[in-house]
Structure 1
Amino acid sequence: MASLDSAELTEWIAFDCIETIGEARADLRAGIIASAVANHGSRVIQEPYRPRDFMPYVNRDDDAKPVLHKDPEQQSALILRGVFNREAA
């Protein structure tokens, strides 16, 4: 983190939005398999399961809006907490 500037961090976040990195990708793969198994069979289901229904850390609030602070320090602290689970030093 000491050598990562704001522009590079922004690029990595944008890349992660396009092509998920790490455990989130593994959760997606597991969710796809779990939803396929849950939707399989002869029973009638009201609404098919989606992969995100089996992903433990996915945000399920479809109406969520991005949080943007006017103060850059507040925005940086939010990013540190949300992305890296750290408090600003």
Structure 2
Amino acid sequence: MDFGIPVRELKERITSAEFVDYMASYQLDQRGSHYDDLRAGAIASVVANVNRDTKVRREPFGALDFMHWNEYHRVAVEKSKPVLLDDPDAQSNLLLSMMFPNRNG
């Protein structure tokens, strides 16, 4: 667990009983890395939506779109199939057009 302050300073601020209560609360509420991932996903979705081409993707991104460990993302990936072309040059052009939609040429 990361309390955001050094442990020696934490020992001076709270009693051992308060610390045990906090640890129990932490486990019951399941706070921690999943919530950190959700916060990071929310920020990533804002950045992606600001730069999103609404003609290509009408639906806005959500926080879960950027949290690859979650079930929502896993199902979306399983449903999607890669686009594979026989012509290597056409495949490269397709990749470039998807990665850089505003490039000329």
| Fold shared per TM-score above 0.5 | no
Higher relative contact order (CA 8 A, sep 6+): 1
Question: TM-score normalized by structure 2?
Answer: 0.37
Q: TM-score, normalised by structure 1?
A: 0.42
